[in-house]
Amino acid sequence: MSRRHLVYDRCDGQLDGDLRSVTLLSDASQAPQGLRGHQGILAMWGGALVQWESKHQPFAALSSTEAEPIGYVDAIAMGESLNNALVDDGVFLLKGDNLSGIQLLLSLDGPWRKRHLRLRSYVPWLPRNGEFENTPGAQLCADLL
């Protein structure tokens, strides 16, 4: 009788195995016809997967620029809780494939036309110890979710 098991391995090129930081890989997709989109988050620590999440978003987004920050906010919350549990005064790195979504998180001021996006992606406790990086979707492991 053969045994079946799940093996977790490194995401090549995504991590350096550092135990002083948590790396969050986040991706989201907008659903067609006004339905709720889907998001996936992978949390890596020391080169190993420690937590993951794949779910429908809580509400419909009208564009990928709107869907991605919703996932980024959930990833930041996951990263903060993992940093508190695993790392003392560590940093976290959020990797996503939507540069405009990352910019919405980082800039509280912006054009009046995008105010509804800023309100949905507003993080009043945006961590000072967080770093954000734009990673192409073809290199982002969270794209699988």
- Let me know if residue 4 belongs to a domain: no
d(CA 23, CA 42): 8
- Of the pLDDT bands very low, low, confident and very high (cuts 50, 70, 90), residue 41 is very high
Model pLDDT for residues 71-117, shown as the tens digit of each residue: 888 888 888 888 777 776 667 788 988 887 777 777 766 665 666 66
Paired sense of beta strands 91-96 and 48-60, if any: unpaired
- Kindly provide the residue ranges of all beta strands, DSSP E only, lying in 8-142, ordered along the sequence: 21-29, 36-45, 48-60, 91-96, 130-134
Range of the domain at 135: 21-139
Pairing verdict, β 36-45 and 48-60: antiparallel
- How far apart are the C-alpha atoms of 118 and 116, rounded to whole Å? 5
Per-residue tokens: 41: 């988050």
Do residues 25 and 42 touch, judged by C-beta distance below 8 A? yes
**133 lies in some domain:** yes
Q: Is residue 144 part of a domain?
A: no
Q: What is the DSSP letter of 16?
A: -
Q: Choose among 19, 14, 29: nearest CA to 143.
A: 29
Q: What are phi and psi of 3, to 5 degrees?
A: -95, 140
Q: Which two tokens stand for residue 49?
A: 């997967």
pLDDT number for residue 15: 47
Q: What is the CATH number of the domain that holds 97?
A: 3.30.420.10
Cβ–Cβ under 8 Å, residues 45 and 65: no
Does residue 6 lie within any of the structural domains? no
Please report whether residue 124 resides in a domain: yes
- pLDDT at position 21 over 50: yes
Query: Is 30 within a domain?
Result: yes
Domains of the chain: total: 1
2 domain-assigned = no
Is residue 51 in some structural domain? yes
